[in-house]
Structure 1
Amino acid sequence: MDCRDHTPCQLALDLPFWQHWYYVLVEKHPGVPGTVSFQVIVQVTDCSQPSLARPPFLPSSASMNMPHSFGSMGGLALGDSPPPASPNGTKHSVPIPTSSPASERCWPVRPTLRNELDTFSVHFYIFFGPNVSVPPDHPAVFVINLLPVLDSGGVLNLELRLNVSSLCGENVTVFGCLNHEVPLTSSDNASVTCETESLAGFLLSVNATATLSRLRIPYPQTGSWYLSLRSLCATEHGFEPCTNVTAEVYLRAYLSPCINDCGIYGQCKLLRTNNYLYAACECKAGWNGWGCTDNAEAFSYGFQLLSTLLLCLSNVMFVPPVAIAVRSHYLLEAAVYIFTMFFSTFYHACDQPGIVVFCIMDYDVLQFCDFLGSLMSVWVTVIAMARLQPVVKQVLYLLGAMLLSMALQMDRHGLWNLLGPSLFALGIMAIAWTARTIRRRHCYPPTWKRWAFYLCPGALIAAAAVLLYAFVETEENYFYIHSIWHLLIAGSVGFLLPPRAKPSRRLGPLPRRKGCGYQLCVNEQEELGLVDPAVASINSICTS
């Protein structure tokens, strides 16, 4: 209210904000000389005891002991203090207009019990509830207290369900007004709203036709929320108070991280920004909205099925590398490829958004095995190309499996999880090939056909796969770019896997005859005492 046009200036608030300060701005007009004195009278009526009213409180710059620098604005607090004298020495009071009878706006407020279950998961229980009775003559008011920081990052859920059997055949409608900081129930029964000139709330209603009403408020403002329930009967002239009908409703109030846990097309996640913790839905398959319920840009069932089949069936490309590895007697490498093909297929079948999903085990286990198999396939292929000694190769296989498991546990989506082992294995292969080239004094691998038809195409295919994975793959093109990644990686393995090692040309020991004992060889020449070999033939007699 602007008091420049009102003398005296009077303001009556029927519904003041609870536990709030009210400020009065006093400014002196530049053209008025001297000092201007004024009075501020505040009177509060306790609705629980209408006959008792607090004495007027008249704070001024003298009584509040405030410096003149603070005289432009002051906060009014309520207390018991005698009014100061007026400037002319007489005592008088300015009449304050009376509002509607206090008994019409004085209702008992029933508190709720808070039960914290998890982060942003709180249930509010009503004493002697959850079924509450709404009398016909006055509203039933409940208060829900939301704590700062802890409750502002979730969703406030309110549910009303009417018990039709309690209406006794009357056309009763129960209206609920949820307001922040102050309870509000409209006095105009014909048009029930939860709004005034300075207040606005949320309206709920249940009747015999619509027995259930839900309200969800994402990221609610902290503080006290008041729910006022009132039962009215529908007539020809609008709504009127009912007579001798006490409606019974089921009331449920709780905090949840997300709306309906984001449904089947989303995932509820806890996020932190600038020390603020809040929950939000991460929607998939083109769905949007607070609870991933907006299907304006959603993927169709055929598109979901196509993306799942592409990601799963592209792993069949690992069958040729498995056959090549088995034929070349690389049995351990073949086992790694089979492991990768199996878990990659079922991981992508479980990873799909929407309804085309099939999981044979826990999602986290499938994801870990898929990532580990992919990295191990690269590792064992490059180590096999180095043609190391069997003992050294087995040690590197085992060491790589342990280190890759540790790296994946730290960060599964890091790019260096793929580049690090690949570069390290390529370094080992380069050292082995260089040492073999120096020892043989000939380039290794020695044949140009091996370079032209196997190594160069395989390296180009592997490099293209890494570039697609690192710089091209996004959430929008994931299903077909990642399918191409499967095809390229499996194809490069088929080209890069070395051929079967040739057996060594060095002759081994002669095979012994089966049996026990020893052989005694006697030179017949020595036994006969013959010296000249031309005289007699030499025969060796061996006796076992």
Structure 2
Amino acid sequence: MLRLRPKAPPLHNSSSLSCGGASVCQLELALPPWGHWVYVRVEIPSRGPGRTIHFQLCVRLQECPQPSLSRVLVPGAAMNMPQSLGNQPLPPEPPSLGASAEGPGATAPPEHCWPVRPTLRNELDTFSVHFYIFFGPSVALPPERPAVFALRLLPVLDSGGVLSLELQLNVSSLLQENVTVFGCLTHEVPLSLGDAAVTCSKESLAGFLLSVSATSRVARLRIPFPQTGTWFLTLRSLCGVGPRYVRCRNATAEVRLRTFLSPCVDDCGPYGQCKLLRTHNYLYAACECKAGWRGWGCTDSADALTYGFQLLSTLLLCLSNLMFLPPVVLAIRSRYVLEAAVYTFTMFFSTFYHACDQPGIVVFCIMDYDVLQFCDFLGSLMSVWVTVIAMARLQPVVKQVLYLLGAMLLSMALQLDRHGLWNLLGPSLFALGILATAWTVRSVRRRHCYPPTWRRWLFYLCPGSLIAGSAVLLYAFVETRDNYFYIHSIWHMLIAGSVGFLLPPRAKTDHRVPSGARARGCGYQLCINEQEELGLVGPGGATVSSICSS
């Protein structure tokens, strides 16, 4: 049994021949890949120990006549080396074993023995390579022979992009003849195009076929993640109407050839983003599609979101932030100016962050996306923080220190992980701990529940707490990628509404007390505020001494 296979030992998918008892056993491998080893395997049946069969192995490689295809390719292939690698020597060409095609008794050369035209490689960036044709980019195709071009893709450097090929026919060069230019792109072996039925496959070799004519002047071919090595493009001009063509008489077709390597297909279009990914030592590019678009270049709109739906989701996410306007007005009227500034900051950056964060084409960015995202997350967390600290009614110095410390710690936490759930729950629980401690100490000192009035609990604190808790539950357990646009809009409205309920009222002063007494007292304004909240000061007011002593 004789087995033959290129590039790998002939265990599977190999050409085989059962020799039997024949004295001469011949196996032919048509179109072997260039520049690769061919493995030969000889098997004998095991009919007992000690059996030995003597045979002679003869290999003959039929090459093209001078100038040889392989010998023409090797000097020109050096031009395909990137500038970063310099002039490195190419691997030596495998020698021809046995009788060559030029020797006596050789058969006629194959009909696809045409010179290969090299291309010039120009690296622009990662996975961005242009292949230039000498005396191009227009190629004249005479009727009697095809034109063959070689494109060399380097290992690792070129395997992660998209190989693109564009053919454009110059109709003015056809001389009123019905000319069709066919192109066949194959890997490692050039494949000829016949004069009759045009195919781009032969035996175990198959390539990519494309054509241009007067009715279809442009043809494009894209191969994502192409196999490295040498790719051969064969161009042939034929006349007539399919499916059978004939060789043209006098028409010399002219086509414009453009070949290049790019990271993604058409830069992923308006509904995608081209990203470079690394897995171990392999670097490759891929499109990350948005708004339900799919495909290599995000061009499949089968499950895509409509323009109206994109506009609706953008408006909901942006306009829902207007619910922060009532808390801003309420904070200003209650003289919580710093808190009002934080709410305004949150409303502004949340609106423009969501306008820039949309997956479709309804996008508006006033600055860098990363900056908008950071400011939106920081504003949301600071709104919760300053509201809870304001509810604790701490001394001004302590409150200012906590405000500043909270801003710095929240900035650090967001820089570590912006999408972590504990970035929201951690500061909120810490602020609630401060609030609970302050209220407990005040209740023990006053011997009365704080806040003292049941109306404050019933109409403000309980509704605000329920609204804020519902918002946190929606954010943590209900919000998904599919329902993001309306669940997150509800989150905006609930958080803004809870701030309006939970923000404490403005501290009131008794103007009937003289200014001198106010200045000499023990902090009259603070004392009268605490007494009013505890419900210990009647409508008629009280003296400074009685208030301070209590």
TM-score by length of 2: 0.79
Whole-Å separation in 1 of the counterparts to 2:191 and 2:446? 94
Name the amino acid aligned to 1:278. Y
Pair 1:181 & 2:197 matched: no
Name the amino acid aligned to 2:32. P
Secondary structure at 1:105 match in 2: coil
Whole-Å separation in 2 of the counterparts to 1:80 and 1:305? 68
1:41 corresponds in structure 2 to 58
Name the amino acid aligned to 1:40. L
Of 4, 12, 16, which aligns to 2:32?
A: 16
CA contact (8 A) 1:152 1:222 kept: yes
Per-residue CA deviation, residues 137-167 of structure 1 (Å, 9 max, x unaligned), is 3222222222222222221111111122222
Residues 49-448 of structure 1 mapped to structure 2, 5 A cutoff? 49=66, 79=95, 100-102=108-110, 104-186=111-193, 188-234=194-240, 238-448=244-454
Whole-Å separation in 1 of the counterparts to 2:141 and 2:434? 80
2:543 corresponds in structure 1 to none
Deviation, 1:80, is: 7.2
Query: Are the structure 2 counterparts of residues 473 and 200 from structure 1 closer, same or farther at C-alpha, using a change threshold of 3 Å?
Result: same
The answer to which of 323-332 and 431-440 deviates more is: 431-440
Deviation, 1:12, is: 3.3
Query: Are the structure 2 counterparts of residues 119 and 415 from structure 1 closer, same or farther at C-alpha, using a change threshold of 3 Å?
Result: farther
2:87 corresponds in structure 1 to none
Query: Are the structure 2 counterparts of residues 139 and 359 from structure 1 closer, same or farther at C-alpha, using a change threshold of 3 Å?
Result: same
The answer to which of 112-121 and 196-205 deviates more is: 112-121
Per-residue CA deviation, residues 78-126 of structure 1 (Å, 9 max, x unaligned), is 547889xxxxxxxxxxx99966524x32222222233333332222222
Pair 1:4 & 2:18 matched: yes
Name the amino acid aligned to 2:34. W
Identity over aligned residues, as a percent? 73
Secondary structure at 2:182 match in 1: strand
Name the amino acid aligned to 1:323. V
Deviation, 1:478, is: 0.6
CA contact (8 A) 2:60 2:98 kept: no
Per-residue CA deviation, residues 283-328 of structure 1 (Å, 9 max, x unaligned), is 2222222222112222223322222222122112112211221121
Of 22, 25, 39, which aligns to 2:41?
A: 25
Query: Are the structure 2 counterparts of residues 437 and 127 from structure 1 closer, same or farther at C-alpha, using a change threshold of 3 Å?
Result: farther
Deviation, 1:282, is: 2.1
1:71 corresponds in structure 2 to none
Deviation, 1:134, is: 2.4
The answer to which of 190-199 and 147-156 deviates more is: 147-156
Deviation, 1:36, is: 0.5
Query: Are the structure 2 counterparts of residues 113 and 326 from structure 1 closer, same or farther at C-alpha, using a change threshold of 3 Å?
Result: same
Secondary structure at 1:148 match in 2: coil
CA contact (8 A) 1:14 1:99 kept: no
Secondary structure at 2:390 match in 1: helix
Structure 1 unaligned spans of 5+: 54-76, 84-94, 513-544
Whole-Å separation in 1 of the counterparts to 2:151 and 2:95? 27
Deviation, 1:51, is: 10
CA contact (8 A) 2:163 2:222 kept: yes
TM-score by length of 1: 0.80
Query: Are the structure 2 counterparts of residues 479 and 132 from structure 1 closer, same or farther at C-alpha, using a change threshold of 3 Å?
Result: same
2:3 corresponds in structure 1 to none
Whole-Å separation in 2 of the counterparts to 1:419 and 1:321? 22
Whole-Å separation in 2 of the counterparts to 1:423 and 1:113? 64
Name the amino acid aligned to 1:326. I
Per-residue CA deviation, residues 448-488 of structure 1 (Å, 9 max, x unaligned), is 33233322322222122122112221111111111111111
Query: Are the structure 2 counterparts of residues 275 and 414 from structure 1 closer, same or farther at C-alpha, using a change threshold of 3 Å?
Result: farther
The answer to which of 340-349 and 239-248 deviates more is: 239-248
The answer to which of 446-455 and 235-244 deviates more is: 235-244
CA contact (8 A) 1:376 1:400 kept: yes
Deviation, 1:334, is: 1.2
Whole-Å separation in 2 of the counterparts to 1:97 and 1:198? 28
Whole-Å separation in 2 of the counterparts to 1:441 and 1:503? 23
Query: Are the structure 2 counterparts of residues 329 and 235 from structure 1 closer, same or farther at C-alpha, using a change threshold of 3 Å?
Result: closer
CA contact (8 A) 1:10 1:96 kept: no
Name the amino acid aligned to 2:350. S
- How many pairs align? 477
Whole-Å separation in 2 of the counterparts to 1:387 and 1:26? 93
Per-residue CA deviation, residues 195-219 of structure 1 (Å, 9 max, x unaligned), is 0111000011112221110001111
Whole-Å separation in 1 of the counterparts to 2:423 and 2:69? 76
CA RMSD of aligned residues (A): 3.1
Structure 2 unaligned spans of 5+: 1-14, 71-92, 520-550
Whole-Å separation in 1 of the counterparts to 2:431 and 2:131? 59
Query: Are the structure 2 counterparts of residues 383 and 140 from structure 1 closer, same or farther at C-alpha, using a change threshold of 3 Å?
Result: same
Whole-Å separation in 2 of the counterparts to 1:239 and 1:142? 23
Deviation, 1:16, is: 1.3
Query: Are the structure 2 counterparts of residues 504 and 429 from structure 1 closer, same or farther at C-alpha, using a change threshold of 3 Å?
Result: farther
Whole-Å separation in 2 of the counterparts to 1:273 and 1:169? 54
Pair 1:459 & 2:440 matched: no
Secondary structure at 2:240 match in 1: strand
The answer to which of 112-121 and 38-47 deviates more is: 112-121
Query: Are the structure 2 counterparts of residues 461 and 39 from structure 1 closer, same or farther at C-alpha, using a change threshold of 3 Å?
Result: same
The answer to which of 309-318 and 496-505 deviates more is: 496-505
CA contact (8 A) 2:292 2:304 kept: yes
Per-residue CA deviation, residues 220-250 of structure 1 (Å, 9 max, x unaligned), is 1122111111122226993223334332222
CA contact (8 A) 1:12 1:98 kept: no
Secondary structure at 2:236 match in 1: strand
